[in-house]
Structure 1
Amino acid sequence: MIPAVPRAWAPYCGAAPVPDELFARWNLDSLLLLALAGAAVVLSRTSRRPVLSAAVIAIALLLFVSPFCALSSALFSARVAHHVVLAAVVAPLVVYALPLEKLRWPGSLLMWTGLQTLTFWAWHAPTVYAAALSSDLVYWTMQLTLLSTAMGFWGAVRRASAPSAVAALLFSTVQMGLLGALITFAGAPLYVPHYFTTMAWGYSPLEDQQLAGLIMWAPSAALYLAAALLVAGRWLTGEDREAIA
């Protein structure tokens, strides 16, 4: 049985939409648009790979400005997809768009691997996740810590030797798959803000949660595994890793 929702949720992306209103739900927050414009300027001035920089801004617009932002208020699976793209697509695109000398951040690969794992797991704990959907401050803390620790991880991977990079990427593959499996096989819905927001989309809360777990288990883990195989392949064939850095 699904318990009653103890409060009205007010997520940053707005109240959960129903399908008929989704495409009218653009997020035109002026502060967000200003921040994205600033990020675009910074990337254009520092990046040596303008295609990657353009992809970063385009994906950020999709995640935070397009109706997908509102959809993540309705479906936990959309929110998980959002987090996966932020950590496993946006973060490495930013890191590989920058020149290597811009990535001299403190901390070892082991430290950043641990921080990324801890951050990702912590924000998907049900009570912590619920807090992020009841406060804009907590929401942006979640987004920025997910992105910053992922950037730290990918930056450390880029600087590391091939064997160390492969080990860290394989560990990330396993931990993402494990968290996804735990969410998929939970016997009851865990995420209170979505108890009454999924039915309009044809999912029960548990089905939505299972889909979210599968997204984290398969596509997310596959991204880290693909990166590990790419680094390993170039290492084993004797290619210069800096050619992809």
Structure 2
Amino acid sequence: MAWAGIAAALAAMLWALPWNAWIGEFATHMLRHIALVAIVAPVLALAMPERWRGFAPPVLAGAVVEFFVVWGWHLPGPYLASTEAGWIEAAQYLSFLIVGLAVWWGAFAAESPLVGAAGLFLTSMHMTLLGAILIFAGRTICDNGMTLADQHLGAMIMLAVGTPAYLLGGLVLASRVLSLPEERST
């Protein structure tokens, strides 16, 4: 139950503080996006009762769905729509949290730690690619008044938080293989 409380507190902080005024609109979007998928979602996954393990989605399926959700929301049309209508923005963040939870819960509950690690590494790769595209872009992803500096800061947040979170999670799961007892055939 403590993990769920931590996740709720982290999520509340994402909206309680005036991030837009501090770091810009796109950087705020990316801070919220990455915090939901790479911090709040794994904390929620840790809060899942062991008896629910059988309900966890397959991590690789979760990673594929997460890819389409994340990349879809960062296309110019959907991103712009999310900045213009509060309910679309809420749907966007809810979908980030759901797919993030699917990946992390699926990774933690996978029968093999290596399968869980593979799902997290796959997610890390596509998130890193999206961050790199956004940071090296010579123009903004949409014409809504966003500055290139704001987009670049958002991309740096994605790379500085998202990439290490997924890599660390994958490494922790992969390290479990080294500590598993060796199976012996008789």
Q: Distance in 2 between matches of 1:225 and 1:165?
A: 12
Map Cα deviations across residues 55-86 of structure 1 (whole Å, 9 max, x no partner).
11211111122223x44893311210110000
Q: How does 1:204-223 map to 2 (within 5 A)?
A: 205-223=147-165
Q: Distance in 2 between matches of 1:194 and 1:80?
A: 16
From the two aligned structures, give the one with the greater helix fraction: 2
Out of 153, 170, 173, the residue aligned to residue 121 of structure 2 is 170
Closer/same/farther in 2, CA of residues 238 and 104 from structure 1, 3 Å limit: closer
Residues 42 and 101, structure 2, Cα contact 8 Å, conserved in 1: yes
Give the length in aligned residue pairs: 180
Map Cα deviations across residues 164-188 of structure 1 (whole Å, 9 max, x no partner).
0111111111111100011111111
Q: Distance in 2 between matches of 1:105 and 1:79?
A: 30
Out of 78, 93, 98, the residue aligned to residue 128 of structure 1 is 78
Pairwise CA distance, 1:116: 1.0
Compute the TM-score of the two structures, normalised by the length of structure 1.
Answer: 0.68
Q: Distance in 2 between matches of 1:103 and 1:88?
A: 20
Compute the TM-score of the two structures, normalised by the length of structure 2.
Answer: 0.88
Residues 10 and 40, structure 2, Cα contact 8 Å, conserved in 1: yes
Corresponding residue of 1:87:
37
Corresponding residue of 1:231:
173
Structure index of larger Rg: 1
Matched residues, percent identical?
27
Q: Distance in 2 between matches of 1:108 and 1:215?
A: 28
Letter paired with 1:62? M
Map Cα deviations across residues 68-125 of structure 1 (whole Å, 9 max, x no partner).
3x44893311210110000111011111012122343364222111011111111111
Corresponding residue of 2:24:
74
Residues 56 and 105, structure 2, Cα contact 8 Å, conserved in 1: no
Corresponding residue of 1:110:
60
Letter paired with 2:124? T
Q: Secondary structure at the match of 1:86?
A: helix
